[in-house]
Amino acid sequence: MKPSTLNIASPLCPVPLRDYPQVILAHGGGGKLSAELIEHIFAPAFANEHVTLLSDSTPLCLPSQRIAVSTDSFVVQPLFFPGGSIGDLAVNGTVNDLAMSGARPMYLTAGFILEEGFEMEQLIRIAKDMGRAARDAGVAIIAGDTKVVERGHGDGCYINTSGIGVLPAERKIAVDQAKPGDAVILSGSVGDHGVAIMSVREGLDFESPILSDCASLADLVQKMLDTSTNIRAMRDPTRGGVAMSLNEIAAASRCGIELDDECIPIKEPVRSACEFLGLDPLLVANEGKLIAIVAKSDADQVLNTMRAHPLGCDAAIVGHVVEDDNQLVVSRTAVGTKRIVSIPVGEQLPRIC
């Protein structure tokens, strides 16, 4: 039977999932076709002891510690880009938000909003990317939801993920904890994700391909926490980039931050692309980098730990926290002058995550 002749209200439903090369409204109707999506795409891709139960909710056993909760929605275009996909982003983005508070990410939920006509093969690929990213991050996707909107009322696929992590009672890592004298450490080169997205949108070719840095930072963070108890604040500089994250820390901690432009790692193709597109690399989004504010006494030790990790091998101390009632972030340029690193008024690059 062909989909065009199928009466989905018929008691003869369902037909095999393979007979639907595209998502149809009934896949979000909560009926047999919704169940087929879960059974044939999501459950195998996310495979863990919780999703196999297919219950309305999932009972969890959490360690007797504080929990951290985060949620984020992902609307990136294109859905697949050099170095990742919306599936990778949907997992790593929420995992990293949890990790930045010092929490150990444990569980995720996933909500899908699909547009009628969305290619089933793309959905399968996205689900597989999510499953792989979750396993790499050491988290389990334990609940989810799917809705389908009419053709023309969506943009293929949106995903929301929410996460739960645990953290020790005594751990306090927050944007208001920075103190004058602390070191500002960046885990690696900036701007890779935003420029990778733009290269696809604008059809730009570079001599060396620019890949998104999309990755889970949970393991790197855990090793940093094992090294030092004097990590004051952490942020993954996604939308708004490094500039936004540092200005938020400066404002919350009522201090200033001084950077050194020459210490900030930027890959040459990214630097060239930013010059070509008129972008400030400090404002471009990253999806696999972190900023850590660390007490001066522990900075070198934390830096060495980061450089020993694959995701922190290019880490560098890029500046310091200073006393400043105006709470400015400034950077010393190569010619010795200073420039204010301000936050963007709007988004330089919309829909990058």
In this prediction, residues 178-196 reach a mean pLDDT of 97
CATH 3.30.1330.10 intervals, the chain: 22-167
Task: Compute and round to an integer the Cα radius of gyration of the chain.
Answer: 22
Q: Is the pLDDT of residue 66 over 50?
A: yes
Instruction: Provide the β-strand partners of residue 159.
Output: 74, 112
pLDDT band at 259 (very low <50, low <70, confident <90, very high): very high
Q: Is the pLDDT of residue 17 over 80?
A: no
Report the alpha-carbon distance of residue 191 to residue 213 in Å, rounded. 9
> What is 182-340's CATH number?
3.90.650.10
Return the SS3 of 26.
Answer: helix
Query: How confident is the model at residue 319, as a pLDDT?
Result: 98
Task: Locate 3 and state its tokens.
Answer: 């989909």
β strands within the chain, DSSP E = 66-74, 80-81, 84-85, 104-115, 140-149, 157-167, 183-186, 231-235, 256-260, 291-294, 316-322, 329-332, 338-340
CATH 3.90.650.10 intervals, the chain: 182-340
pLDDT one-digit tens code per residue, 228-241: 999 999 999 999 99
User: CB of 312 within 8 A of CB of 213?
Assistant: no
pLDDT above 90 as % of the chain: 77
Mean pLDDT estimate for the chain: 92
Query: How confident is the model at residue 246, as a pLDDT?
Result: 98
Report the alpha-carbon distance of residue 49 to residue 43 in Å, rounded. 10
Query: How confident is the model at residue 12, as a pLDDT?
Result: 40
Q: What are phi and psi of 276, to 5 degrees?
A: -65, -40
pLDDT band at 157 (very low <50, low <70, confident <90, very high): very high
The CATH H-level (homologous superfamily) assignment of domain 22-167 is: PurM-like, N-terminal domain (3.30.1330.10)
pLDDT band at 18 (very low <50, low <70, confident <90, very high): low
pLDDT one-digit tens code per residue, 76-131: 999 999 999 999 999 999 999 999 999 999 999 999 999 999 999 999 999 999 99
Report the alpha-carbon distance of residue 93 to residue 287 in Å, rounded. 7
Q: Residue 146: CB partners within 8 Å, gap ≥ 6? A: 27, 28, 34, 37, 38, 42, 111, 112, 114
pLDDT band at 339 (very low <50, low <70, confident <90, very high): very high
Query: How confident is the model at residue 93, as a pLDDT?
Result: 98
Report the alpha-carbon distance of residue 131 to residue 51 in Å, rounded. 12
User: 139 or 64: which carries more pLDDT confidence?
Assistant: 139
Q: Is the pLDDT of residue 262 over 80?
A: yes
Q: Is the pLDDT of residue 332 over 80?
A: yes
How, if at all, do strands 256-260 and 84-85 pair? unpaired
pLDDT band at 171 (very low <50, low <70, confident <90, very high): very high
Query: How confident is the model at residue 3, as a pLDDT?
Result: 43
pLDDT band at 4 (very low <50, low <70, confident <90, very high): very low
pLDDT band at 149 (very low <50, low <70, confident <90, very high): very high
Q: What are phi and psi of 73, to 5 degrees?
A: -120, 145
Query: How confident is the model at residue 16, as a pLDDT?
Result: 59
Query: How confident is the model at residue 9, as a pLDDT?
Result: 39
Q: Is the pLDDT of residue 11 over 50?
A: no
Q: Is the pLDDT of residue 330 over 60?
A: yes
Query: How confident is the model at residue 2, as a pLDDT?
Result: 41
In this prediction, residues 265-279 reach a mean pLDDT of 92
